[in-house]
Structure 1
Amino acid sequence: MAVYQIVEIGDPVLREKAKPVKEVTPHILKLLDNMADTMYAAKGVGLAAPQIGVSKRVIVVDVGEGLVELINPEIVEASGQAVDTEGCLSVPGMIGEVARADKLIVKGLNRQGKEVVYQAKGFMARALQHEIDHLEGIIFVDKASNLRKAE
């Protein structure tokens, strides 16, 4: 178990397009484990590898329905729209309203290197989009309106 320091806004790694994972190696498995430990320790619902300074296309999400680990995630389909308040572990103390698709189909690889497909809606769809944005160098403040300090 390892808990990493979360990289904050201003660090250039957060603005890079993360590199695809070519194969699931023991290093990637350890990265997934450490990302989950870091996310839970920070009381977050999602974490992307760039948020711990690793420019790889790896995310973990847990909105209370169990841990989802995705390597090279891609949004296959998005529909509907909802606006809700978001925050980010890399932008501590700030929240804002972000419009996102309400329903998603996301595909990626699991820790066994097998392709998996998730259908998500609501909060889970929002969390997946937020983390996948990190892999593109996009931070929620880029899309947020009514940006303000969290109370």
Structure 2
Amino acid sequence: MGMFEGFESSGAALRVELVDPIVGPIKDKAGNASYIELHALDSKLGRDYDQAERSNVDPAHAALTPFFKNCKKLAAVTTGWYLVNPNTGEALDIPCTRENAFKFYTLDATDWWAQAWAKAANNVNFLTRPKPPLSSDTPNGRSATEGS
């Protein structure tokens, strides 16, 4: 346990299930969800990426738009995935690498990056908290002092 016990991140990757804006959650033919595993943007992976980027003097990198820079960072904190073709339900055999993740996040006119970014940017997704017990003294499972 660290000095700031209870305030620390779990350090674990978060599984983000992909949702197609038209058909809903993407699943394979067996019903398994398509997902991306990633860490918080300010996790050790994210901070190591930021440190390396500060020393990157490549003019091509400096010319990247904020969108592409953000997708590069998102690719750096992406550690795994199970991708399923939303049209066929077939699993895609694409290794999860930084390069492939960057290509995925920068597909034209898609929001896959936004689904991942919203989760990776929200640190509450990486905190470990015990679930409060449900009270059995009211029909809705809340205690009488919680209200409705």
The two structures have a TM-score, normalised by structure 1, of 0.29
Choose between structure 1 and 2: higher helix proportion.
2
The two structures have a TM-score, normalised by structure 2, of 0.29
